[in-house]
Chains A and B, each alone.
Chain A
């Protein structure tokens, strides 16, 4: 009886504290498209990380002039990846993980591919959207 009372008393203290420690979840702004700038801002064989809602996305212009957009968050331990211009691969410096330009994990510890985004060119502007790639 005393034990149950003590447990209930302790729970009545710990519960609000544990709830207090987790901040209220902020809903992600409903971003579906992001204008990342004009084509001229992306010379061939270059990249840029942009913000898509709360998430970082890496936009790559290949040597051939094609555009690719992928989640910039490494699927291993959350570091931001980078585009390696010499090997034309995506690399995570934190634990030496490699992906190809389709986002497929090639070597190192990353367990999953990078999520792809759709790239559209409209009026010389590069537009990234989260729609499923067709």
Chain B
């Protein structure tokens, strides 16, 4: 208690404790959704922690990357466990961000006054996917090499700035050791910095504005609405769930390890059955189905444009869904959300079944 008093005299800890205990979490059928953002945050912490441990042995470079990852998983004590946790946690991180985003979407939590929280969350999702894309190349294996070729070539097809983007990503015209070094820098320095800053803002908005409830809950009379204190009630449940997630990751890491595969070879053919990471699968499958030419443009460019437009609409939902801002039902946007889920899940399943 002496330490608490010592700090409190200097930086007023009492007001922070008062804020945490005063903070109320709405209790209703959707309270469980509130945990998804917290789990995503926890998984990011796991990523930072295991990522720092991996950096201690990882050596970027076309002649050293694959060998160093092999060294980590086969020679370093518990190196396999750290790498597996990093890989599994990365996948769950994206999964939970998606789940968090869709629950926020259907609860219409993006409506006024939380538009900026939605915008920052959407950008965090894109950054998380870029985390995945850049980290995927680092073991320098065959699948990662071709995934990076395809991904960066898609960036290269963007009108006007495509060539700049391609060279920016690849650090040249081809995917090479220089690309690997660049992706390493992006993965361990640029993205963590940008992501942490934006995540800080995102969390600050949530703290300042409190938890959102769906419009029908908001319209209930005050005596019908239930709450629980954030601290300790909600925070303890949060911590328990984080512990469960950590255990699940440990089980997955032990029983379902990620293969390291073959070392990347610029003169090898793309292997049969090549697939991207699951969260890019719906786009991969769609690109597969689009014919070589659509109207006057190449199918590839058409596909990229469609995804860009869909992403922009999704990003701008708080602005477009006028009804939700007035606490009214907006069936159209509900169906847009259902369509998005059906499309993403359907294309993903299709992609894995062929």
Interface residue ranges, A against B (CB under 8 Å): 21-23, 25-26, 49-51, 54, 56, 72, 74, 76-82, 92-96, 105, 108-111
> Which B residues are CB-close (under 8 A) to A80?
146, 266-270
CB pair A93 B271 closer than 8 Å: yes
CB pair B150 A78 closer than 8 Å: yes
> Which B residues are CB-close (under 8 A) to A109?
287-288, 290-292, 299-300
Nearest A-chain residue to B291, judged by Cβ: A109
**Among B168-176, B192-200, B331-339, which stretch is in contact with chain A?**
B168-176
> Which B residues are CB-close (under 8 A) to A94?
146, 150, 270, 274
Complex CA distance for A49 and B292, rounded to whole angstroms = 25
Within 8 A of A (CB), among B262-305: 266-274, 284, 287-288, 290-293, 298-300
Report if B343 contacts A (CB, 8 A): no
Complex CA distance for A77 and B167, rounded to whole angstroms = 15
**Other-chain residue from A23, A54, A79 in contact with B150 (beta carbon distance below 8 A):** A79
With both chains docked as a complex, state the minimum distance between the C-beta of A119 and any C-beta of chain B, in angstroms: 18
> Which A residues are CB-close (under 8 A) to B290?
109
**A77 with B149, Cβ < 8 A, contacts A23-B178, A109-B290, A109-B291 known:** yes
Chain A facing B: main interface SS = loop
Report if B164 contacts A (CB, 8 A): yes
CB pair B273 A54 closer than 8 Å: no
**A77 with B154, Cβ < 8 A, contacts A54-B173, A95-B287 known:** yes
Interface residue ranges, B against A (CB under 8 Å): 146, 149-150, 152-154, 164, 167-168, 171-174, 178, 266-274, 284, 287-288, 290-293, 298-300
With both chains docked as a complex, state the minimum distance between the C-beta of B200 and any C-beta of chain A, in angstroms: 24
CB pair B292 A77 closer than 8 Å: no
CB pair B168 A22 closer than 8 Å: yes
Complex CA distance for A82 and B164, rounded to whole angstroms = 29
* A to B CB contacts below 8 Å, 26 in the list: A22-B168, A23-B171, A23-B172, A25-B172, A25-B173, A49-B269, A51-B266, A54-B173, A54-B174, A72-B269, A77-B154, A77-B287, A78-B150, A78-B153, A80-B146, A80-B268, A81-B270, A82-B270, A93-B272, A94-B146, A95-B287, A108-B292, A109-B287, A109-B290, A109-B292, A111-B299
> Which A residues are CB-close (under 8 A) to B273?
93
Complex CA distance for A54 and B272, rounded to whole angstroms = 24
Nearest B-chain residue to A50, judged by Cβ: B267
Nearest A-chain residue to B299, judged by Cβ: A109
Contacts A22-B168, A95-B287, A95-B288 aside, 10 further interface pairs with beta carbons under 8 A come to A23-B171, A49-B267, A49-B269, A80-B269, A93-B269, A93-B273, A93-B274, A94-B146, A95-B284, A105-B292
With both chains docked as a complex, state the minimum distance between the C-beta of A5 and any C-beta of chain B, in angstroms: 27
For the complex of A and B, 4 pairs with smallest distance between CB atoms: A82-B269, A78-B153, A79-B270, A111-B292
> Which B residues are CB-close (under 8 A) to A56?
266-267
Complex CA distance for A23 and B131, rounded to whole angstroms = 23
> Which B residues are CB-close (under 8 A) to A54?
173-174
CB pair B299 A23 closer than 8 Å: no
With both chains docked as a complex, state the minimum distance between the C-beta of B23 and any C-beta of chain A, in angstroms: 40
Complex CA distance for A94 and B275, rounded to whole angstroms = 7
Complex CA distance for A132 and B82, rounded to whole angstroms = 53
Nearest B-chain residue to A58, judged by Cβ: B269
Nearest A-chain residue to B154, judged by Cβ: A77
CB pair A110 B168 closer than 8 Å: no
> Which A residues are CB-close (under 8 A) to B153?
77-78
**Other-chain residue from B171, B172, B173, B300 in contact with A77 (beta carbon distance below 8 A):** B300
CB pair B271 A49 closer than 8 Å: no
With both chains docked as a complex, state the minimum distance between the C-beta of B166 and any C-beta of chain A, in angstroms: 10
> Which residue, of A21, A25, A79, has the highest number of chain B Cβ atoms within 10 A?
A79
CB pair B150 A26 closer than 8 Å: no
> Which B residues are CB-close (under 8 A) to A92?
270
With both chains docked as a complex, state the minimum distance between the C-beta of A3 and any C-beta of chain B, in angstroms: 25
Nearest A-chain residue to B157, judged by Cβ: A77
With both chains docked as a complex, state the minimum distance between the C-beta of B129 and any C-beta of chain A, in angstroms: 18
